């Protein structure tokens, strides 16, 4: 039977089957319906193929799951787009699986102050600020590289050029993040594992940049993240103090975690 000849009941059944497939990775129907802003009883009717959403609600569901209205006509596995490499069928059970539903208890939202050794001048350290947020099932990271660091790399110092964004992925131990500047100008891989501390708000790991081997500078260095939460004054203070500094000027606990006197391996 062609798509044009499908009966209302067949359209409802196809929509319900696709919605069940898209919903299977969520912990509960209650939580999913809450995120979608749809009454749970009504959402259950959609899942059972007993009811069909209004156009505005359909658009909300399609936008949330990143599919289109073809979910009325054919199985969703046939229409999931490769446009999103994380959720496309080739990677969703591999890379995409780790990028979904990272608990806030593992890596909370909010501002983070970070410290690491400079890639270009190993006698210096870089201190910066990033912001972590969740949108749907995905955890994102965003920040701006210090103007001094941009200048030292002969890169444009405009705010748009210094911005970097990335996606966070859960690992068996800790978290990883793939981060890039606009137009994939530069890219880095970041790994962090939580450190036991008084406030339980520190992570330590390393960052590796994607570049060819060089006889000067480093391609991988230790890195520390300190969670500042949503404390805007504290974040603004961290932003004002971002940039290059010497090892002596590092925050003491950052310096301790970076093991500045020990070579990175």
User: Which tens digits make up the pLDDT trace of 112-127?
Assistant: 999 999 988 889 999 9
Is 116:220 a contact under the CB 8 Å cutoff? Answer: no
| pLDDT tens digits, 240-263 | 999 999 999 999 999 999 999 998
> Residue 142: enclosing H or E segment and its boundaries?
strand 138-144
Mean pLDDT of the chain: 87
187-195/175-181 β-pairing: antiparallel
pLDDT at residue 107 greater than cutoff 80: yes
**Is 50 exceeded by the pLDDT of residue 2?**
no
- Report pLDDT for 1: 43
3-class secondary structure, 219: coil
DSSP-derived letter for residue 71 is G
Q: Are strands 202-209 and 110-117 parallel, antiparallel or unpaired?
A: unpaired
Residue partners of 155: CB distance under 8 A and separation at least 6 = 161, 162, 185
Beta bridge partners of 130: 112, 143
Closest CA to 70 of 185, 221, 61, 233: 61
Whether 214 shows a pLDDT value over 80: the answer reads no
Integer Cα distance of 227 and 104 in angstroms:
12
Contact residues for 154 (Cβ-Cβ < 8 A; gap 6+) = none
Q: What is the pLDDT of residue 82?
A: 46
pLDDT > 90: percent of the chain: 49
pLDDT tens profile 127-173: 999 999 998 788 999 999 877 766 666 666 666 778 999 999 999 89
Residues near 73 by Cβ (< 8 Å), separated by ≥ 6? Answer: 3, 6, 11, 14
Among residues 243, 251, 191, which one has the least CA distance to residue 226? Answer: 251
pLDDT for 37-77, tens place per residue?
Answer: 999 999 999 999 998 888 899 889 988 887 877 777 777 76
- CATH 1.10.260.40 describes domain 3-80: yes
CA dihedral 212, 88, 93, 180 (to 10 degrees): 30
> Would you call 156 helix, strand, or coil by DSSP?
coil
- Percent of the chain past pLDDT 70, that is, above it, reads 89
Q: Does domain 110-258 match CATH 3.40.50.150?
A: no
Would you state the pLDDT for residue 92? 72
> Which pTM does this prediction carry?
0.69
Helices (H), the chain: 8-23, 29-36, 40-47, 55-65, 95-98, 147-152, 159-162, 232-240, 252-258
Domain positions in the chain are: 3-80, 110-258
- Look at residue 65 in the predicted model and tell me its pLDDT: 83
Taking residues 2-19, report their average pLDDT: 80
Q: What is the C-alpha to C-alpha distance for residues 131 and 111, in angstroms, rounded to an integer?
A: 4
pLDDT of res. 191: 98
Tokens representing 4? 């044009």
> pLDDT class for 80, splitting at 50, 70, 90?
low
Q: Are 243 and 145 in contact (CB under 8 A)?
A: no
Q: Which pLDDT value is given to residue 181?
A: 87
């Amino acid at each position: 039977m062609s798509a044009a000849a499908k009966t209302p009941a067949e359209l409802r059944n196809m929509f319900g089957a696709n919605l069940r497939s898209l919903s299977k990775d969520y912990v509960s129907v209650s939580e999913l319906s809450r995120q979608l802003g749809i009454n749970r009883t009504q959402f259950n009717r959609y899942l059972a193929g007993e009811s069909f959403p209004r156009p505005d609600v359909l658009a909300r569901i399609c936008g949330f799951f990143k599919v289109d209205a073809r979910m009325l006509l054919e199985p969703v596995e046939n229409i999931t787009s490769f446009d999103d490499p994380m959720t496309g069928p080739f990677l969703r059970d591999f890379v995409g699986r780790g990028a979904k539903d990272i608990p806030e208890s593992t890596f909370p939202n909010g501002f983070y102050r970070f410290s690491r050794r400079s890639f270009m001048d190993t006698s210096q350290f870089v201190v910066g600020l990033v912001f972590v947020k969740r949108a749907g099932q995905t955890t994102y990271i965003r920040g701006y590289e210090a103007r001094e660091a941009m200048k030292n790399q002969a890169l444009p110092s405009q705010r748009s050029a210094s911005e970097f964004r990335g996606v966070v992925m859960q690992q068996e131990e800790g978290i990883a993040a793939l981060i890039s500047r606009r137009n994939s100008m530069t890219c880095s891989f970041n790994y962090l594992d939580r450190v036991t501390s008084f406030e339980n708000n520190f992570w330590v790991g390393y960052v590796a940049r994607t570049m060819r081997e060089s006889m000067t500078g480093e391609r991988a260095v230790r890195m520390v993240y300190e969670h500042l939460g949503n404390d805007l004054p504290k974040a603004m203070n961290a932003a004002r103090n971002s940039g290059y500094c010497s090892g002596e000027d590092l925050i003491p606990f950052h310096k301790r975690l970076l093991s500045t006197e020990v070579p990175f391996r």
